[in-house]
Amino acid sequence: SQQGEEDPQALSIQEGENATMNCSYKTSINNLQWYRQNSGRGLVHLILIRSNEREKHSGRLRVTLDTSKKSSSLLITASRAADTASYFCATAGSNDYKLSFGAGTTVTVRA
């Protein structure tokens, strides 16, 4: 069964606005990763945050992790049309390095 669940399922924003999506999971993790999938393409890794980290940045991306609430958020700042994609969170368990993916958030950035 899928470990992560993203919220919202879909998000539409204007270019230049920020986009925030959330991921909740059920069991303890070693790390949580975010991936992007452009339409018709494979997934591309964006960022990894370990269970002992609370916040991580990469360019316009900011990821937070709250292990007490078993949740994570991905913030994309100053969005661009090229950010239009589906975003997936994936968790790696404490005893198992396989990834379990959520159903994803579809982000549409309007020009």
Taking CB under 8 A as the rule, which mask of x and - marks residues 51-80 in contact with another protein? ------------------------------
Pick from 11, 19, 33, 63: which binds another protein (CB under 8 A)?
A: 33
Q: Which of 80, 47, 44 is nearest to 63 (CA)?
A: 47
Residue number, 18 or 58, with CB nearest to another protein = 58
8 Å CB contact between 86 and 19: no
User: C-beta of 37: minimal distance to another protein in Å?
Assistant: 8
Residue number, 75 or 93, with CB nearest to another protein = 93
Using the CB atoms, write b or e for 11-50: b if 16+ within 10 Å. Answer: bebeeeeebebbbbbeeebebbbbbbeeeeeebeebbebe
Tell how far CA 43 is from the center of its chain.
12
Residue 1 makes contact with another protein by CB under 8 A: yes
- Point out which residues bind another protein (CB under 8 A): 1-2, 4, 30-31, 33, 40-45, 48, 50, 88, 90, 92, 97-104
